[in-house]
Structure 1
Amino acid sequence: MDNYPLLNIFWTMLELFLWILWFFLLFKIITDIFRSNDMGGGAKAGWTIFVILLPFLGVLVYLIVRGGSMHERDLDQAKQADAAFQDYVRRAAAGTPPSTNHVDELSKLAELKNSGALSEDEYRRAKDKLLA
Protein backbone atom coordinates (compact mmCIF):
# COMPACT_ATOMS: atom_id res chain seq x y z
CA MET A 1 0.00 0.00 0.00
CA ASP A 2 2.94 2.29 0.54
CA ASN A 3 3.82 2.20 -3.14
CA TYR A 4 0.36 3.37 -4.24
CA PRO A 5 -0.63 6.62 -2.50
CA LEU A 6 -4.20 7.68 -1.85
CA LEU A 7 -4.18 10.29 -4.62
CA ASN A 8 -3.30 7.61 -7.17
CA ILE A 9 -6.24 5.52 -5.96
CA PHE A 10 -8.60 8.46 -6.55
CA TRP A 11 -7.03 9.11 -9.96
CA THR A 12 -7.48 5.44 -10.94
CA MET A 13 -11.12 5.52 -9.80
CA LEU A 14 -11.71 8.66 -11.88
CA GLU A 15 -10.14 7.03 -14.94
CA LEU A 16 -12.30 3.94 -14.47
CA PHE A 17 -15.44 6.06 -14.09
CA LEU A 18 -14.64 8.05 -17.24
CA TRP A 19 -13.90 4.84 -19.15
CA ILE A 20 -17.29 3.36 -18.17
CA LEU A 21 -19.00 6.66 -19.00
CA TRP A 22 -17.30 6.63 -22.41
CA PHE A 23 -18.59 3.13 -23.20
CA PHE A 24 -22.09 4.11 -22.06
CA LEU A 25 -22.03 7.11 -24.40
CA LEU A 26 -20.68 5.01 -27.27
CA PHE A 27 -23.42 2.38 -26.87
CA LYS A 28 -26.06 5.11 -26.55
CA ILE A 29 -24.92 6.66 -29.81
CA ILE A 30 -24.80 3.34 -31.66
CA THR A 31 -28.32 2.58 -30.39
CA ASP A 32 -29.47 6.02 -31.54
CA ILE A 33 -27.97 5.46 -34.98
CA PHE A 34 -29.91 2.25 -35.53
CA ARG A 35 -33.13 3.60 -33.98
CA SER A 36 -33.18 6.73 -36.13
CA ASN A 37 -35.92 6.66 -38.77
CA ASP A 38 -34.74 9.74 -40.64
CA MET A 39 -31.51 8.10 -41.88
CA GLY A 40 -31.17 5.54 -44.61
CA GLY A 41 -29.08 2.40 -44.48
CA GLY A 42 -26.04 4.04 -46.05
CA ALA A 43 -26.03 6.90 -43.57
CA LYS A 44 -26.41 4.47 -40.66
CA ALA A 45 -23.52 2.38 -41.97
CA GLY A 46 -21.38 5.48 -42.46
CA TRP A 47 -22.01 6.81 -38.96
CA THR A 48 -21.42 3.36 -37.44
CA ILE A 49 -18.10 2.94 -39.25
CA PHE A 50 -17.07 6.51 -38.33
CA VAL A 51 -17.94 5.98 -34.65
CA ILE A 52 -16.20 2.59 -34.47
CA LEU A 53 -13.02 3.42 -36.45
CA LEU A 54 -12.48 6.89 -34.97
CA PRO A 55 -14.37 6.63 -31.70
CA PHE A 56 -13.44 9.92 -30.01
CA LEU A 57 -13.82 12.06 -33.11
CA GLY A 58 -16.86 10.10 -34.32
CA VAL A 59 -18.74 10.46 -31.04
CA LEU A 60 -17.96 14.16 -30.77
CA VAL A 61 -19.00 14.86 -34.37
CA TYR A 62 -22.18 12.79 -33.92
CA LEU A 63 -23.08 14.72 -30.76
CA ILE A 64 -22.50 18.03 -32.52
CA VAL A 65 -24.44 17.09 -35.67
CA ARG A 66 -27.26 14.94 -34.32
CA GLY A 67 -27.09 15.36 -30.54
CA GLY A 68 -30.09 17.69 -30.30
CA SER A 69 -32.43 15.21 -31.92
CA MET A 70 -31.31 12.27 -29.72
CA HIS A 71 -33.62 13.47 -26.98
CA GLU A 72 -36.55 13.68 -29.40
CA ARG A 73 -36.01 10.07 -30.51
CA ASP A 74 -35.81 8.95 -26.86
CA LEU A 75 -39.02 10.83 -26.12
CA ASP A 76 -40.80 9.31 -29.14
CA GLN A 77 -39.77 5.82 -28.08
CA ALA A 78 -41.00 6.43 -24.52
CA LYS A 79 -44.32 7.75 -25.85
CA GLN A 80 -44.75 4.68 -28.07
CA ALA A 81 -44.00 2.34 -25.17
CA ASP A 82 -46.45 4.22 -22.94
CA ALA A 83 -49.14 4.16 -25.63
CA ALA A 84 -48.67 0.42 -26.11
CA PHE A 85 -48.92 -0.13 -22.35
CA GLN A 86 -52.04 2.05 -22.07
CA ASP A 87 -53.63 0.19 -25.00
CA TYR A 88 -52.86 -3.15 -23.34
CA VAL A 89 -54.38 -2.00 -20.04
CA ARG A 90 -57.46 -0.65 -21.83
CA ARG A 91 -57.98 -3.93 -23.71
CA ALA A 92 -57.41 -6.00 -20.58
CA ALA A 93 -59.84 -3.89 -18.54
CA ALA A 94 -62.53 -3.91 -21.22
CA GLY A 95 -62.72 -7.71 -21.42
CA THR A 96 -65.16 -9.59 -19.24
CA PRO A 97 -63.44 -11.74 -16.69
CA PRO A 98 -63.70 -15.37 -17.72
CA SER A 99 -64.00 -16.52 -14.12
CA THR A 100 -67.66 -15.45 -13.81
CA ASN A 101 -68.68 -17.60 -16.79
CA HIS A 102 -66.75 -20.56 -15.39
CA VAL A 103 -68.30 -20.15 -11.97
CA ASP A 104 -71.83 -20.27 -13.42
CA GLU A 105 -71.09 -23.34 -15.51
CA LEU A 106 -69.35 -25.10 -12.62
CA SER A 107 -72.33 -24.48 -10.39
CA LYS A 108 -74.65 -25.91 -13.08
CA LEU A 109 -72.43 -28.96 -13.38
CA ALA A 110 -72.49 -29.43 -9.60
CA GLU A 111 -76.30 -29.20 -9.58
CA LEU A 112 -76.53 -31.79 -12.36
CA LYS A 113 -74.19 -34.09 -10.46
CA ASN A 114 -76.10 -33.65 -7.20
CA SER A 115 -79.43 -34.33 -8.92
CA GLY A 116 -78.01 -37.55 -10.39
CA ALA A 117 -78.15 -36.45 -14.03
CA LEU A 118 -74.33 -36.71 -14.30
CA SER A 119 -72.13 -39.49 -13.00
CA GLU A 120 -68.91 -38.73 -11.11
CA ASP A 121 -66.84 -39.56 -14.20
CA GLU A 122 -68.96 -37.37 -16.50
CA TYR A 123 -68.80 -34.52 -13.98
CA ARG A 124 -64.99 -34.77 -13.73
CA ARG A 125 -64.54 -34.80 -17.54
CA ALA A 126 -66.88 -31.83 -18.02
CA LYS A 127 -65.16 -29.90 -15.24
CA ASP A 128 -61.70 -30.62 -16.68
CA LYS A 129 -62.87 -29.57 -20.15
CA LEU A 130 -64.31 -26.35 -18.74
CA LEU A 131 -61.21 -25.44 -16.77
CA ALA A 132 -58.77 -26.28 -19.58
Structure 2
Amino acid sequence: MSFWDVLWLIIVSFGFLFYLMMLFSIIGDLFADHETRGIVKVVWVVFLLVVPLLTALVYLLVRGDGMARRRARTVQSAVDAQDAYIKSVATPAPADQIQKAKALLDEGTITQQEYDSLKSKALS
Protein backbone atom coordinates (compact mmCIF):
# COMPACT_ATOMS: atom_id res chain seq x y z
CA MET A 1 0.00 0.00 0.00
CA SER A 2 1.39 3.36 -0.98
CA PHE A 3 1.31 6.59 0.96
CA TRP A 4 -1.49 7.95 -1.23
CA ASP A 5 -3.61 4.86 -0.67
CA VAL A 6 -3.28 5.28 3.11
CA LEU A 7 -4.03 9.00 2.86
CA TRP A 8 -7.09 8.30 0.70
CA LEU A 9 -8.28 5.66 3.20
CA ILE A 10 -7.96 8.15 6.05
CA ILE A 11 -9.89 10.82 4.13
CA VAL A 12 -12.67 8.44 3.13
CA SER A 13 -12.89 7.03 6.68
CA PHE A 14 -13.17 10.54 8.10
CA GLY A 15 -15.89 11.43 5.59
CA PHE A 16 -17.81 8.25 6.37
CA LEU A 17 -17.63 8.87 10.14
CA PHE A 18 -18.73 12.47 9.59
CA TYR A 19 -21.67 11.28 7.51
CA LEU A 20 -22.67 8.71 10.16
CA MET A 21 -22.53 11.35 12.91
CA MET A 22 -24.67 13.68 10.81
CA LEU A 23 -27.14 10.90 10.04
CA PHE A 24 -27.50 9.90 13.70
CA SER A 25 -27.86 13.54 14.69
CA ILE A 26 -30.64 14.04 12.15
CA ILE A 27 -32.48 10.86 13.12
CA GLY A 28 -32.12 11.68 16.82
CA ASP A 29 -33.45 15.19 16.27
CA LEU A 30 -36.27 13.90 14.11
CA PHE A 31 -37.52 11.49 16.76
CA ALA A 32 -36.95 13.95 19.61
CA ASP A 33 -39.20 16.54 17.94
CA HIS A 34 -42.64 16.04 19.44
CA GLU A 35 -44.27 18.64 17.21
CA THR A 36 -43.62 16.75 13.97
CA ARG A 37 -46.27 14.26 12.94
CA GLY A 38 -45.44 10.59 12.49
CA ILE A 39 -46.02 10.48 8.74
CA VAL A 40 -43.58 13.35 8.22
CA LYS A 41 -40.96 11.47 10.24
CA VAL A 42 -41.50 8.39 8.08
CA VAL A 43 -41.07 10.44 4.91
CA TRP A 44 -37.80 11.94 6.20
CA VAL A 45 -36.45 8.50 7.16
CA VAL A 46 -37.43 6.99 3.80
CA PHE A 47 -35.72 9.81 1.94
CA LEU A 48 -32.66 9.45 4.21
CA LEU A 49 -32.45 5.81 3.13
CA VAL A 50 -33.12 6.44 -0.58
CA VAL A 51 -31.17 9.66 -1.20
CA PRO A 52 -29.08 10.05 1.97
CA LEU A 53 -26.67 12.90 1.24
CA LEU A 54 -29.17 15.16 -0.53
CA THR A 55 -31.82 14.53 2.13
CA ALA A 56 -29.37 15.26 4.93
CA LEU A 57 -28.40 18.57 3.35
CA VAL A 58 -32.04 19.52 2.79
CA TYR A 59 -32.92 18.58 6.38
CA LEU A 60 -30.11 20.75 7.71
CA LEU A 61 -31.22 23.67 5.55
CA VAL A 62 -34.92 23.35 6.36
CA ARG A 63 -34.82 22.33 10.01
CA GLY A 64 -31.35 23.41 11.17
CA ASP A 65 -32.57 26.27 13.36
CA GLY A 66 -35.09 24.01 15.05
CA MET A 67 -32.37 21.45 15.71
CA ALA A 68 -30.31 24.06 17.54
CA ARG A 69 -33.29 25.25 19.60
CA ARG A 70 -34.34 21.73 20.55
CA ARG A 71 -30.77 20.83 21.52
CA ALA A 72 -30.41 24.00 23.62
CA ARG A 73 -33.74 23.30 25.33
CA THR A 74 -32.67 19.72 26.11
CA VAL A 75 -29.34 20.85 27.53
CA GLN A 76 -31.01 23.56 29.63
CA SER A 77 -33.51 21.04 30.96
CA ALA A 78 -30.68 18.70 31.97
CA VAL A 79 -28.79 21.55 33.67
CA ASP A 80 -31.92 22.62 35.57
CA ALA A 81 -32.58 19.06 36.72
CA GLN A 82 -28.97 18.68 37.85
CA ASP A 83 -29.08 21.99 39.74
CA ALA A 84 -32.31 21.01 41.48
CA TYR A 85 -30.84 17.66 42.47
CA ILE A 86 -27.65 19.24 43.82
CA LYS A 87 -29.65 21.75 45.85
CA SER A 88 -31.86 19.02 47.29
CA VAL A 89 -28.86 16.92 48.31
CA ALA A 90 -26.56 19.72 49.46
CA THR A 91 -29.07 21.60 51.59
CA PRO A 92 -29.96 19.69 54.74
CA ALA A 93 -33.60 19.50 55.70
CA PRO A 94 -34.80 22.14 58.20
CA ALA A 95 -35.64 19.42 60.74
CA ASP A 96 -32.05 18.17 60.60
CA GLN A 97 -30.68 21.67 61.09
CA ILE A 98 -32.96 22.27 64.07
CA GLN A 99 -32.06 18.89 65.57
CA LYS A 100 -28.34 19.66 65.32
CA ALA A 101 -28.86 23.10 66.82
CA LYS A 102 -30.87 21.55 69.68
CA ALA A 103 -28.04 19.09 70.33
CA LEU A 104 -25.57 21.99 70.49
CA LEU A 105 -27.90 23.84 72.86
CA ASP A 106 -28.23 20.79 75.11
CA GLU A 107 -24.44 20.40 75.21
CA GLY A 108 -24.08 24.04 76.17
CA THR A 109 -22.08 24.89 73.06
CA ILE A 110 -24.52 27.61 71.98
CA THR A 111 -26.87 29.90 73.84
CA GLN A 112 -30.66 29.99 73.66
CA GLN A 113 -30.47 33.14 71.54
CA GLU A 114 -28.11 31.46 69.04
CA TYR A 115 -30.40 28.42 68.95
CA ASP A 116 -33.41 30.62 68.18
CA SER A 117 -31.43 32.35 65.43
CA LEU A 118 -30.42 29.01 63.86
CA LYS A 119 -33.97 27.73 64.12
CA SER A 120 -35.41 30.81 62.40
CA LYS A 121 -32.82 30.48 59.58
CA ALA A 122 -33.68 26.81 59.12
CA LEU A 123 -37.40 27.54 58.90
CA SER A 124 -37.04 30.43 56.45
Same fold per TM (> 0.5)? Answer: yes
- Distance in structure 2 (CA, Å) of the matches to 1:95 and 1:52: 53
Q: Which runs of 5+ in 1 are unaligned?
A: 102-132
Residues matched between the structures, number: 96
Instruction: Judge which range, 42-51 or 78-87, deviates more.
Output: 42-51
Structure 1 residue 44, shift from structure 2 partner: 1.6
Q: Which residue of 2 aligns with 1:53?
A: 50
Distance 2:65 2:19 in 1: 19
Task: Name which one, 1 or 2, has greater alpha-carbon Rg.
Answer: 1
CA distance, structure 2, for counterparts of residue 94 and residue 43 of structure 1: 46
Q: Which structure 1 residue ranges, 4+ long, deviate > 4 Å from structure 2? A: none
Aligned pair 1:30/2:27, yes or no? yes
* 1:44-88 CA-partner distances (Å, limit 9, x unpaired): 222122212221121111111111221111111000000110111
How many angstroms apart in 2 are the aligned matches of 1:95 and 1:42? Answer: 50
Q: Distance in 2 between matches of 1:63 and 1:19?
A: 18
Determine the C-alpha separation between the residues in 1 that align with 2:9 and 2:44.
Answer: 32
How high is the TM-score relative to the length of structure 2? 0.69
- Answering whether residue 62 of structure 2 is matched by residue 43 of structure 1, we say no
Q: Secondary structure at the match of 1:37?
A: coil
Matches within 5 A, 1:113-124: none
> Letter of the aligned partner of 1:49 in structure 2?
V
| Larger RCO (CA within 8 A; separation ≥ 6) | 2
Quick check: 64-73 or 26-35, which moved more?
Answer: 64-73
CA distance in 2, matches of 1:95, 1:50: 54
Identity %: 28
RMSD across aligned positions (CA): 1.9
Letter in 1 for 2:41: K
Q: CA deviation at 1:93?
A: 2.1
Of 68, 85, 92, which residue of structure 1 is paired with 2:65? Answer: 68
